[in-house]
Amino acid sequence: MGKVIAVANQKGGVGKTTTCVNLAASLAATKRRVLLIDLDPQGNATMGSGIDKYEVENTAYELLVEEKSFEEVVCRDTNGKYDLIAGNGDVTAAEIKLMEFFAREIRLRNALAPIKDDYDFIFIDCPPSLNMLTVNAMSAADSVLVPMQCEYYALEGLTALMDTISKLGSMVNPGLHIEGILRTMYDPRNRLSNDVSDQLKQHFGEKVYRTVIPRNVRLAEAPSFGAPAMYYDKSSAGAKAYLALAGEIIRRAEQLDLAEQD
Ligand code: ADP
Ligand code: MG
């Protein structure tokens, strides 16, 4: 199978990294082979997986710029039971160095090609901007998962993201599509959240995941423990929500497979 999913939203603080770490762990817990790639220089997904971003020897920089082999760069079996390509401040340098290369948009796609089918799911945690790293993520990806908070300006930002996805699609990656839209940090008691959520469903229909991620303090605490929430407090609402999301994603993928066989 080897499905590559970029987790992107140019807005910061919407739950991209939290989604990457917890969804990757949830899918790994169902015996899927999962790889997470941290393309954000902040290295939050790396720390949240229990890998010290200040100590780690190789990162996405070595993969993208120095062309070190995947085998040299990958961190096996992190605290979330998935494999990780780490990210840290060096990845900022990668963004600049990439500009020097021919075919700079497809460096990541080329680097992943030999190992893509060793995994069931590959998630790419994107930085909060539409830069060359995000372009590399979207060129390597089959689809884009968009986490969003249901607040007033969210829909506006989403339109800009959709434009980028369709432009990139026509330029470097014709098959690129929206994997799903995920409502994060959701508070059902907030009327605005409900309104925005309704509008989302009107615009994007079935693309909006049924699973909603609630605001849950355990999800915010888990990174300081260096592990996904399910290994910190498995009965927490946050951990359960990401397990439910993993189930929804697996069911969707199976339905697609069935439809393609018909
Ligand atoms: P992004 O990667 O989009 O910048 P993060 O995943 O880092 O966003 O989330 C931003 C902040 O919100 C972090 O401090 C994170 O721990 C917290 N957070 C994310 N999702 C939730 C949630 N569902 N409930 C509570 N806090 C959350
Ligand atoms: Mg992040």
Give residue 8 CA to ligand 1 midpoint distance, Å.
14
> Is the C-beta atom of 173 inside 6 A of ligand 1?
no
Neighbours of 217 (CB within 10 A): 12
Tell me if 80 sits within 8 A of 21, measured CB to CB: yes
Q: Is the pLDDT of residue 262 over 80?
A: no
pLDDT at residue 194 in the model: 92
- Condensed to tens digits (0 to 9), the pLDDT of residues 134-174 reads 999 999 999 999 999 998 888 888 888 898 889 888 888 99
Task: Name the residue of 17, 18, 144 to mutate for ligand 1: max ligand atoms within 8 A of Cβ.
Answer: 18
* Averaged confidence pLDDT in the chain: 94
Kindly indicate whether the ipTM for this predicted assembly is greater than 0.95, answering yes or no.
yes
Closest CA to 150 of 181, 186, 178: 186
Put simply, whether the predicted model's pTM sits higher than 0.95 gets the answer: yes
Atom 10, ligand 1: residue with shortest CA distance: 13
Atom 4, ligand 1: residue with shortest CA distance: 13
Interaxial angle between packed helices 132-140 and 90-98, expressed in degrees from 0 to 180 and rounded to the nearest 10: 80
Averaged pLDDT for residues 248-260:
88
Q: Is the pLDDT of residue 213 over 80?
A: yes
For residue 231, give its domain range. 3-261
> Is the C-beta atom of 219 inside 6 A of ligand 1?
yes
What percentage of the chain carries pLDDT values higher than 90? 83
For residue 144, the domain's CATH number is 3.40.50.300
pLDDT at residue 122 in the model: 98
Averaged pLDDT for residues 232-246:
97
> Is the C-beta atom of 114 inside 6 A of ligand 1?
no
Contacts of 116 (CB under 8 A, 6+ apart): 2, 4, 122
pLDDT at residue 28 in the model: 98
pLDDT at residue 74 in the model: 98
pLDDT at residue 1 in the model: 62
**Overall number of domains in the chain:** 1
**pLDDT band, very low/low/confident/very high, at 248 (cuts 50, 70, 90):** very high
Distance in angstroms (rounded) separating the CA atoms of residues 25 and 31: 10
Give residue 257 CA to ligand 2 midpoint distance, Å.
31
